[in-house]
Amino acid sequence: MTAVVELMDYADVIERFDPVLGLEVHVELNTDTKMFCGCANEFGGEPNTKVCPTCLGLPGALPALNGKAVESAIRIGLALNCEIAPWCRFARKNYFYPDMPKNFQTSQYDEPIAFNGYLDVTLDDGEVVRVEIERAHMEEDTGKSLHVGGATGRIHGAEHSLLDYNRAGVPLIEIVTKTIEHTGERAPEVARAYVSALRDLLQALDVSDVRMDQGSLRCDANVSLMAKDATEFGTRTETKNVNSLRSVERAVRYEMTRQAAILAEGGSIKQETRHFQESDGTTSPGRTKETAEDYRYFPEPDLVPIAPSAEWVEELRKTLPEMPSERRKRIQREWNLTDEALRDLLNVGAVDLVTATVEAGATPDEARSWWVNTLAQEANSREVELSELAITPAQLAEVIGLVKSGELTNKLAKEVVQGVLAGEGSPSEVVEKRGLKVVSDDSALIAAVDEALAAQPDVAEKIRGGKVAAAGAIVGAVMKATKGQADAKRVRELIVERVGA
């Protein structure tokens, strides 16, 4: 039987404690090959088919560093306003776990390639919080354990486990923040906004596909609480591998309420890793958290140090694209958006989607209205990110074009979008399958108008007497008769013509 976990009301947590965060984000790079061997760096595939003696850690196999991964690491460091180390090296991080074929991870310890940076993060109301970066270092990913036979897919209750080493050796950059303090009740929001801003930056750099659902961007959220009169940080927990923006916020909030309840009862927090449960937003215990000493770091003897020249670093700096924050300022200026309208775009994650829809032929106002209103509501109801909806910017631009050409009304356009989201095909295919084209044949419309006028002679008389506003009732009847497929503007014109007003 699952034990009941006591939680403190969030308002009480904020009144009694100060949260302290530390966020570690792992980014899988999109290089063609793995970090230290020539195996394909691709998601998925048959288990254990993208492996070789090097990434399997077989005796005698030697690593060779992926130059593109080093380049990507430097570009990430520069974009995060970091200093780039003129000399750094790899280390062996020793721990024993089934998904680590070598029983150590090739990583960087006290000599990372990038350090001492920052990222300015915009919250939902426009407030900007500077999150300081401790380091961004290179390492390799682990394999994947598949636990079979249990109800949850986790090791507890499983009958046996299988190991897939396809992911072992995939190039990773781990980006570690300094402690994030003084955020109060907004700590969960700051955590989400930081990971969101980091994802946007990495996407702009084109160094990763940043697919949180596939694990190419994962966040470990460290959370601790300090009593209001305390001078030292509390004991932290580390919630591992949180894989959506919404979940980052929920995990931080849950840990704050859980830890506060324990501390209020005089208990102590165990320094441990925890697992986030997507189903109910809770966390559960993992393993006791190791310290750096437990890993017995030592320099990797099979790899030479890395010494990027100042000239090369400056060449890479010139390749940096327009940063997301600068891009947003430009878009706001070009699209003539208010601060509030821009925040709405940012809050639903629609900037790239609207931009792509505009590039496909829609106007900024049309694209923004659809993504921020109709489609954002769809995403919320389905509890997915806006970008995960099954409609592309090009498809939405096609729908908008059909409205503009008069082939669809706004109401019919929403039906078409629903059809696309349901997987019924492209907008034109949905229109065809559902028979949603606007009725533009005057003869059909005249018949419907005459029928509606005959059914409501008193309304017809009012229109004839100059009360043109009364035509709305007839328009409504015609729209109902044509199942919303009539052009309302043309219907109104025909009504006035038929009554001779």
Phi-psi region of 60 (alpha: psi -120 to 50; beta: other; left: phi over 0): left
Q: For domain 442-500, is the CATH number 1.10.10? A: yes
> Please, which pLDDT band fits residue 174 given cuts at 50, 70 and 90?
very high
> Please, which pLDDT band fits residue 83 given cuts at 50, 70 and 90?
very high
Residue written as token pair 């859980």 = 258
Which tops the pLDDT comparison, 254 or 480?
A: 254
Strand arrangement, sheet containing 298-299: 104-107, 91-94, 298-299
**Would you say 354 and 371 are in contact if contact means Cβ atoms under 8 Å apart?**
yes
For residue 240, the model assigns a pLDDT of: 92
Residue written as token pair 């324990």 = 262
For residue 260, the model assigns a pLDDT of: 96
Window from 4-18, 128-142, 281-295 with minimum mean pLDDT: 281-295
Which tops the pLDDT comparison, 114 or 454?
A: 114
pLDDT over threshold 80, residue 316? yes
pLDDT over threshold 50, residue 1? no
Which tops the pLDDT comparison, 223 or 461?
A: 223
pLDDT over threshold 50, residue 460? yes
For residue 265, the model assigns a pLDDT of: 93
> Please, which pLDDT band fits residue 290 given cuts at 50, 70 and 90?
low
| Furthest C-alpha separation in the chain | 98
Q: Is 255 exposed, middle or buried (0-12, 13-18, 19+ CB in 10 A)?
A: buried
What are the pLDDT digits (tens) for 179-197?
999 999 999 999 999 999 9
HSE value, Cβ hemisphere, 13 Å, CA-based, for 14: 11
> Among residues of the chain, what percentage have pLDDT more than 90?
63
Mean pLDDT for 417-439 is: 83
Shortest CA distance to 488 belongs to which of 369, 432, 408, 419?
Answer: 408
Shortest CA distance to 118 belongs to which of 79, 70, 85?
Answer: 79
pLDDT over threshold 50, residue 14? yes
For residue 494, the model assigns a pLDDT of: 66
For residue 128, the model assigns a pLDDT of: 92
Shortest CA distance to 277 belongs to which of 298, 300, 261, 258?
Answer: 258
Shortest CA distance to 86 belongs to which of 314, 310, 319?
Answer: 310
What are the pLDDT digits (tens) for 326-369?
998 899 999 999 988 988 888 888 988 999 999 999 999 999 99
> Please, which pLDDT band fits residue 444 given cuts at 50, 70 and 90?
low
CA distances for 142 relative to 24, 26, 58, 163, 169, angstroms: 16, 12, 15, 11, 6
For residue 437, the model assigns a pLDDT of: 66
> Please, which pLDDT band fits residue 487 given cuts at 50, 70 and 90?
low
pLDDT over threshold 60, residue 471? yes
For residue 148, the model assigns a pLDDT of: 85
pLDDT over threshold 60, residue 2? no
Residue written as token pair 């007003």 = 501
> Among residues of the chain, what percentage have pLDDT more than 70?
87
Q: Do strands 298-299 and 91-94 pair parallel, antiparallel, or not at all (unpaired)? A: antiparallel
> Please, which pLDDT band fits residue 491 given cuts at 50, 70 and 90?
low
Residue written as token pair 């969101």 = 196
Which tops the pLDDT comparison, 150 or 9?
A: 9
For residue 440, the model assigns a pLDDT of: 57
Backbone angles phi, psi at 271, to 5 degrees: -75, 110
For residue 50, the model assigns a pLDDT of: 95
Average pLDDT of the chain, as a whole number: 88
Mean pLDDT for 146-169 is: 82
For residue 270, the model assigns a pLDDT of: 93
Mean pLDDT for 463-475 is: 69
Alpha-carbon dihedral sign for residues 436, 441, 442, 448? negative
Strands (E), 341-485: none
Mean pLDDT for 119-133 is: 92
> Please, which pLDDT band fits residue 370 given cuts at 50, 70 and 90?
very high
For residue 455, the model assigns a pLDDT of: 75
pLDDT over threshold 90, residue 154? no
**Would you say 222 and 194 are in contact if contact means Cβ atoms under 8 Å apart?**
no
Mean pLDDT for 235-248 is: 93
- What is the domain partition of the chain in residue ranges? 10-312, 322-434, 442-500
